[in-house]
A and B are shown apart, each in its own frame.
Chain A
């Protein structure tokens, strides 16, 4: 046995006691009584609950069937912890929920017991049209501060692959967690911890192994943090059966997972006459590799609607290409399958890429077929093909040569690009009888740009009128395109008004247009004209003017005193603002904000305000160069963020000078005494 810390040994002794006790025939099981007696350390006041005891026992039968028993015990520490009185257990057509019970142990009172028949059952409601997963929910009585809530369930399933995951439920602090696996004689396993320093297994008896953890801290939630899925503590296990007939379900490496998936999807890409006809129709008259691939990709991405129907193995296995084409609908794997089938008809190879839309959720060191929730396609790029330079999302993998990664599900991300959540993310590229984990590229900031330019005229009373042109490229175009396409013209105007209302007062949007909304490969261009009353803030003798008319940089709330997790940006980007404000006669700059320059490894920021004649020019460039900001860079990030906020709030002080030209409206730009605005508006009818 390996070295254990004192804490771990105490935990093991405790666990040994806890697991030896037998459940009593009725009432509260002894494991829960013991867990309830555990001394609870002092946690911060806002800790909602502590997970006293988490246990999962996975028993694998000789034929690969699995029985798992889960036990959980929470102590509720304050009102926010009452949510732990809501118990939900999931099952589906291939997972039998054979037992569910829950208890509440009110302080100084008898326990409550709830049985499965008291549960409310429901389907899952999500983006999936139909999913056979259901949940049973129990509302445990007396789920209030000071009380203990416990539940236990048993599920039986026949897994598609021989692996198991033990997720430590550390949304709150975990006092003790135990995982046990019971394997048939002759079976072996490989276990890897993710986001946790290794706890070694202990052999109990007869190929039964256990892992015990104690005092696992709660997963803090912070703004702009990586996905909680990527940070969750878990033990990933793969099993090796001694029965050769089961070996095909053993997936201990990415390669084996790739092979398993290749077999699972075998035949699904088979082209039919209808598919061949459709391909011929779509590529008719097209000569180049680029045009043909783009035509097929566009068809699947745009014309096949997203509909997910997932029943049993259907959560993994795509529908055949022919039925996807026939129905003109499918989910991500169905779309990838149809596109692969069509590409095959023009002699282009392509490969499934299994991926998770939460960047970082796939841990390279812990292979698991359950890591993924999405599928895209890697299109092989023949060496002799004339590949357009704008197909940026390329990479290589063993045995495939150069490939282009393409997401046929994301309707607004054109060929050559990738949705932000997939960039710098790991995917399993599946080839014939094989698979390899590849890192998808992070597209550079130069591709994801916003170029915003505005020409404005300031009036002597502070009104601002002007035109703005906003050119959006790459992901900056895709996100807006998605937002605009799902809105009517009226709603688009409201969208723009909402944007302006966050930054301007008393504005009127006079006109707005959008170009290239449906030309996905082109830059999205917004043009709008607005006026804002009292943009310049007249004081009694001065006027204040914010030179940064529009746009707020920075992602999320980065005003933190300290943080636990690194910061993750969604994508690399470069954003430029140039605003020219023509000043009226009689107002001259008295003080200008100083220029700002900030350079770091992960982001740059520059801004300046200059005056040329009577034109005030504000320029800035904000560049995010990489998506992860490590712990050691956080302080620098915070200072950068403060500089950006300061710059965005900075003001130009304008001084009034005597204007030799008489104004038709009286003394230029001087408001004089306090003004009573529009009283007549409100005199009647309210």
Chain B
């Protein structure tokens, strides 16, 4: 059973959240899609349906009459960066719901926990907020704690372009890294600069994933009622309206994300839509399952 994001929020401790989330989706999904297959034997694990039969330890089977697979320690030294959008728009939350930034930190914490567990070296970057964050990729005792601490400190504030941060991430990754962007991907220029920055990273060989975080109300899937709505990153702009009564609102928002997703995919960037009303475990499990497929 997956915990809704509101309950995860009540856990308080992001490390506990990360372990809970990982435990939740690892139990149902084989995590090999995110693991590297290295040469050094690490440990045995009970066979699960879907495991590569080449890794079955027949000798151990002969002794125990039970199937085990060998797991190997990652030796490819995959370097990855989690890039979190901490601009003001990420602070938006629906009544009785968690903010987009909070949801993104849950997902980032879970991914950091998972990927560090598979031997990756993980770094963290954030833009917006009180100031930029850049934690170099590492994999050593205490690094996960440091990452989670930085994630906890993130506060949604201001407006910022992701390009400078993505460029610095690219420099830190050198070649063949992995970049996971967690953002609402709302940009003034219809996302042109964002698409270009992510596309550049992909073009030089990095694996790039854009996890779009949005709320059901932003997508037009939940009624908001009437009011004068303003952009948190540009409070001077406001529009009186009733989103659910605006016949084209949902189509316009959906059209923006569809066009953005198409452009990102054209550049080899993986687009993963996440909504804050979906349990994080389910969202990540679905994503990983789709990757394996």
Tell me if chain B binds chain A.
Answer: no
Chain B residues with a Cβ under 8 A of chain A: none
